[in-house]
Amino acid sequence: MRRRTLFRNKLLPFLLLAPQLAITIAFFFWPAGQAIYQSLLIEDPFGLRTEFVWLENFQIVLSNPLYLEAVRVTVIFSTAVTLLAMAPALLLAVMADQVIRGATGYRTLIVWPYAIAPAVAAVLWLFIFHPNIGTIGQGLRAMGFAWDYRLHGDQALVLTIFVSAWKQVSYNFLFFLAGLQSIPKTIIEAAAIDGASPMRRFWQVIFPLLSPTTFFLLVVNIIYSFFDTFGVIHAITQGGPGRATTTLMYRLYRDGWVNLDLGGSSAQSVILMAAVIGLTVIQFRYIERRVHY
């Protein structure tokens, strides 16, 4: 879209852009460039010499069994978080869309976890699922279930998935609800008059019309499960026990920040950047098409 009336000034627009551009260059483009550059270098253990090695860092990273394990954990973790964050949100949104009385009240009570930091959400649930002091954790043990997420990797994974999804439901709920409310009621009524059952109306009319929202949320949730869940993992399990909850993001933090492997962690950064850029591009191409039809 183009404007007809514009202000004429040679210098002013650049001055207006300057603060945003300065920060963007200093803290986005320069570091991203550095990450790509570092990912092509290998430093000797004493930091005295660096050698340009093309893609060797990527070869090392991608053939490292620990990294491949983190890939596997991330796939399981992200799939589960995305599904668990989206399906209940859709159910709740469909229900809230049908409720006439008290809809705002429900919305307020469902929306508030959006305001909670992932790490704080982790603290709340840690207190509940703690094997010795937690209300549910104790209950599980009383029922004879050997619950201790500090010892059992699969339990740790389940807990971090649950907390991460719990925190994200409210975000998805808001988008699904807005999507549902924008579907013209006449279409649904027409289907009802044609004798379609409520289930059929949902799956054959409402759900397809909701697909742009669903697709948008799918991408957002995958990105969320990659990066924002770091706080949950760091607070509850620190990637353990063993490496059961070490996702790619946690691996990057470990290798880059704790173990100070510059080349390797830069290669990992570049791989993750490529993944996010890929996801975002897919998302925008899809939305572009939706706008045109």
Alpha-carbon distances, residue 246 vs 129, 262, 278 (angstroms): 20, 19, 23
- Which is closer to another protein, CB of 59 or CB of 98? 98
Binding mask 140-159 for another protein (x = CB under 8 A): ----------x---------
- Which is closer to another protein, CB of 7 or CB of 46? 7
Is 139 near another protein (CB under 8 A)? no
Contacts to another protein from residues 104-123, by CB under 8 A: 106-123
Alpha-carbon distances, residue 41 vs 13, 61, 93, 218, 227 (angstroms): 39, 13, 50, 35, 25
Is 126 near another protein (CB under 8 A)? yes
The answer for residues whose C-beta is within 8 angstroms of residue 23's C-beta and 6 or more apart is none
Residue range at the interface with another protein (CB under 8 A); choices 42-50, 61-69, 76-84, 171-179: 171-179
- Least separation in angstroms between CB 251 and another protein: 12
- Which is closer to another protein, CB of 55 or CB of 91? 91
- Least separation in angstroms between CB 243 and another protein: 17
Other CB atoms within a 10 A radius of the CB of residue 25 amount to 12
Contacts to another protein from residues 233-262, by CB under 8 A: 234-236, 249, 252-253, 256-257, 262
Other CB atoms within a 10 A radius of the CB of residue 60 amount to 16
Is 32 near another protein (CB under 8 A)? yes
Alpha-carbon distances, residue 49 vs 43, 60, 88 (angstroms): 6, 19, 54
Strands of 19-118, DSSP E: 41-43, 50-52
In angstroms, the CA 187 to CA 204 distance is 11
Q: Which of 55, 66, 178, 190 binds another protein (CB under 8 A)?
A: 178
Residue range at the interface with another protein (CB under 8 A); choices 40-48, 49-57, 66-74, 84-92: 84-92
> Is residue 107 a contact partner of residue 177, using CB atoms and an 8 Å limit?
yes
Residue range at the interface with another protein (CB under 8 A); choices 48-56, 62-70, 71-79, 99-107: 99-107
Is 38 near another protein (CB under 8 A)? yes
Is 222 near another protein (CB under 8 A)? no
Contacts to another protein from residues 182-201, by CB under 8 A: 185, 188-189, 192, 198
What angle (nearest 5°) sits at the alpha carbon of residue 167, between those of residues 163 and 170? 145
Is 208 near another protein (CB under 8 A)? no
Amino acid at 184: P
